[in-house]
Amino acid sequence: MKVVLFCGGMGMRIRADNHSLPKPMTMIGDRPMLWHIMRWYASHGHTDFILCLGYGASAIKDFFLSYRETGSNDFRLSEGGKTIEMFDTDISDWTITFVDTGQSTAIGERLRRVRPYLGSDEMFLANYGDGLSDVDMNSLIRSLPESSVGSLLAVPPQDSFHVLGFGSDGRMTGLEAVADMDMWINGGFFVLRQGIFDYLQPGDDLVMNACIRAAADGRFTANRYTGFWACMDTLKERAYLEELHASGEAPWEIWKQSVPSMQLVS
């Protein structure tokens, strides 16, 4: 199944300078966020990728054009470097289509511009390119109702903010952590059918336009998930993901583990 990844974001909130790489190329360990996401999909058997490029497109292209399998796999070198025997590989079975979808294009329009590369596949996957999870992707695919043109992963908010309650006289009546409230946000993991294009107009956003229209017709689904999910919008969030990776027990690195069972909330 093809995987569409939106890679055109500038990542202004995570930049340390004015010359940063695109957000999907922000490093976690010695590999960019984009690689971690792609490796996660590949671990579920989905290795045909379509990259919707925008800001910093050349950096993404150059990364893969000069990719070294030896950077993330064990190998044996002999004959003074003339022979390299790989014990494992990570991207050798991937197919990657690179499509320039514009510098400031809305997500929905980026999707429209790569539609020809989806071919005749009825279903495909999509991801914002800035979030990681340990959800079982194939369970999400199987759970999509026949009547739906798509679904998204709904997760609890990760913010550390608190919501205040006030009385009519301005006195505070309560305080509750956002993460403890019965709230759900878009986790950015999509399972879509080609029917989503019936709800997508030129220049549209995928969620705020197409998904809302489809939901109004009863044709869009949200799967609530309470397992691991994290995005990388800020330097603090990047540090958290770096820490998990360095521990050797990053929940999304399922290529080092067995694929977990899905934890959906009915």
CB atoms within 10 A of CB 41: 20
pLDDT at 33 over 50: yes
CA–CA separation, 226 and 155 (whole Å):
6
Cβ-count burial 126-149 (b if 16+ within 10 Å, e if not): bbbbbbbbbbbbebbeeebeeebb
Which residue do the tokens 């759970």 mark?
143
Let me know: does 75 contact 84? Beta carbons within 8 Å. yes
Length of the chain: 266
Q: How is residue 81 annotated by DSSP?
A: G
| Type and span of the H or E element at 83 | strand 83-86
pLDDT tens digits, residue range 182-210?
789 999 999 999 999 999 999 999 999 99
Confidence category of residue 265, pLDDT binned at 50, 70, 90: low
Confidence category of residue 266, pLDDT binned at 50, 70, 90: very low
Residue 71 vs residue 57, higher pLDDT: 57
Ordered structural domains, the chain, with CATH? 2-74+84-265 (3.90.550.10)
pLDDT of residue 260: 43
| Type and span of the H or E element at 65 | helix 57-65
Cβ-count burial 204-241 (b if 16+ within 10 Å, e if not): bbbbebbbebbbeeebbbebebebbbbbbbeeebbeeb
pLDDT tens digits, residue range 133-189?
999 999 999 999 999 999 999 999 877 678 888 888 888 888 887 777 778 999 999
